[in-house]
Amino acid sequence: MSQSPTTSTIHQFYTDAPRISFYFNATEFTKNTAVLHQRIIQFCNKHELDVEDVLLWCTQIPLAQPFVEKHNDISRTHSAHHHLLDNGRQRITFDDHTGAMHIVKPFRVDEENTHTVQLSTVKHLTLHVTVRQKEQPIVDWVEHAPPCAMPLVEKVGSLGVACALAVAYFVVHQQCSM
Q: Amino acid letter at 159? A: L
CA-wise closest residue to 103 among 68, 148, 67: 67
pLDDT in tens for each of the 178 residues of the chain? 445 678 899 999 999 999 999 999 989 997 899 999 999 999 999 999 999 999 999 999 999 999 999 999 998 887 778 889 999 999 999 999 999 999 999 999 998 877 777 888 888 999 999 999 888 999 999 998 655 544 444 444 444 544 444 544 444 445 545 5
Question: Alpha carbon 74 to chain centroid distance?
Answer: 19
What is the reported pLDDT for 51? 93
Query: pTM to 2 decimals?
Result: 0.75
Q: Where are the beta strands (DSSP E) in the chain?
A: 20-24, 27-29, 82-86, 90-95, 100-113, 118-131, 138-144
What is the reported pLDDT for 177? 52
Strand pairing category for 100-113 and 118-131: antiparallel
Q: Would you list the domain boundaries of the chain? A: 7-147, 151-178
